[in-house]
Amino acid sequence: MGAGARPHPAHRAAGRRCHVRADRLRRLAVAALPVHPHRRRRERPPRRPLPDWLAALGRAALADAYDDPAAGDGYSPDTALINFYDGDARMGMHQDKDERSGAPVVSLSIGDSCLFRFGNTEDRGRPYTDVELASGDLFVFGGPSRFAYHGVPKVLPGTGDPAVTGLPGGRLNLTLRETGLKD
């Protein structure tokens, strides 16, 4: 994990514990979170800006996904969320409701393949589409599908090549986003 990253050993979604480990490369500024009266607010070091090469990867992915060289123009992701999935990990269907931007999400898979479930914008149920994402796959969702429910019901252990990825097992997923939130 690089400088400026902050580990999140577990997340909660819809009241249930997620089985994924996440690291954030750029702090999401959230206005005035309540502080428990018996705890002091800790000062955190400033986060580093998203690397230019990573933002360029996101713009190139949009140009390819939309088959339009100008599709990435103006795309300026301000955060990258990194999730690590071991062989037993999964993430339930969820929407990314905390963001204020409707800009597309660019997702890069590294390591073991997974079953990615891409649903509708109304609820966690059907209709949804299951897609197998392999190492090196980029998945883009934007437009009307930007706030679709999505999740990872299954990782396919042993499908990644450690010689290529550097991972002995498991899967890294890196998602680039424009949050619409300001520091």
**Domain-located, residue 3:** no
For the chain, 183 residues long, the average pLDDT of each consecutive 10-residue run is 34 43 37 38 67 94 94 92 91 84 93 94 88 94 88 95 94 91 68
Quote the CA–CA distance of 63 and 68 in Å, as a whole number: 5
Domain of 129 in residue numbering reads as 19-27+49-177
The pLDDT score that the predictor gives to residue 144 is 85
The pLDDT score that the predictor gives to residue 2 is 36
The pLDDT score that the predictor gives to residue 179 is 86
User: Which CATH number characterizes residue 75's domain?
Assistant: 2.60.120.590
Nearest Cα to 105, choosing from 43, 11, 22, 174? 174
**Domain-located, residue 14:** no
**Domain-located, residue 59:** yes
**Domain-located, residue 34:** no
Domains identified in the chain, total number: 1
**Domain-located, residue 2:** no
The pLDDT score that the predictor gives to residue 20 is 52
**Domain-located, residue 37:** no
Which bin fits 48, alpha (ψ -120 to 50), beta or left (φ > 0)?
Answer: beta
**Domain-located, residue 81:** yes
